[in-house]
Amino acid sequence: MLFRRRKLPPELRQALTAAERAERVARRPGLWRRRLAMVLPGALVPSLLIIIGYLVWQPGRGAPPTIALPTVVTPSASQLPPMTRPAAPAIPRVIYGTTPPASEAAGPAGAFTVRVAVVDGDTLATGSDRLRINGIDAPEMHQMCERGGALYACGEAARAAMARIVGNGAVTCESIGVDRYSRRVVRCAGADGRDIAAALVAQGWAMAYREYSMDYVAQEETARAQGRGLWAGRFEAPWDWRHRQRQ
């Protein structure tokens, strides 16, 4: 037996020695037997695998086969059962957004109240935002009209009339849409509750913009019949004036 063991590879001789040592310890009673019961499987299994591999391999047929030892795999957190999976750390909720400015407060049915500046007869401004008043068309700022045989800046006159209607600049508006110039199209009332578009058309400083709305046709007809504002002289419709300027 000793002669045959010397012919074995060193790894196999070490495995046989470990197996014999474990067998001798296993025969001892008491505490060592209990300790061996815990470590014996781990010591014997690799040794037996090496012995079996050597028996299968025969000298002269190349290198001994590689025997894969069992691999211990520790499951990841996602593979654990729901009750043993570690709890994820609590993440505080963050609500993104901005508080509406104090100058713009929400009103009933989606309306908003804002303080504005008058840009021209049919356009208001609040900060960098432009509000296009729906349903009316007022003379442009560089447009000239005729009254009493003389020319005057009717665009400036229309803006001044709208500024008087708006008063302190506080208006309550309802958004209707957005025009091709990225302006909000709105219908607005002044602090006294009057529709500012209806008031401007009734004074004769704007026309009903029939292409988009028929809301102010009655006010226009009254102003024309009574010769108010633009109707006191001769003028070109604002949409015709813009078209001519583009040519």
Min mean pLDDT across 7-21, 125-139, 141-155, 198-212 is at 7-21
Question: What would the CATH number be for the domain defined by 104-246?
Answer: 2.40.50.90
Which residue in the block uniquely carries the two structure tokens 């520790």?
A: 74
Is the pLDDT at 11 greater than 60, yes or no? Answer: yes
| pLDDT score of 7 | 59
Is the pLDDT at 207 greater than 50, yes or no? Answer: yes
Which residue in the block uniquely carries the two structure tokens 């509750």?
A: 193
Phi/psi-derived region of residue 116, left when phi > 0, alpha when psi is between -120 and 50, beta in every other case = beta
Average pLDDT over residues 222-231: 98
Q: Give domain limits for the chain.
A: 2-64, 104-246
Min mean pLDDT across 28-37, 66-75, 81-90, 95-104 is at 95-104
pTM over 0.85: no
What CA–CA distance (Å, rounded) separates 148 from 139?
18
pLDDT by residue (tens digit) across 181-199?
A: 999 999 999 999 999 999 9
Higher pLDDT residue, 34 or 89? Answer: 34
Query: Buried b vs exposed e over 172-206: b needs ≥16 C-beta within 10 Å?
Result: bbbebeeeeeebbbbbbbbeeeebbbbbbbbbbbb
Average pLDDT over residues 19-47: 56
The model's confidence at residue 50, banded by pLDDT at 50, 70 and 90, is low
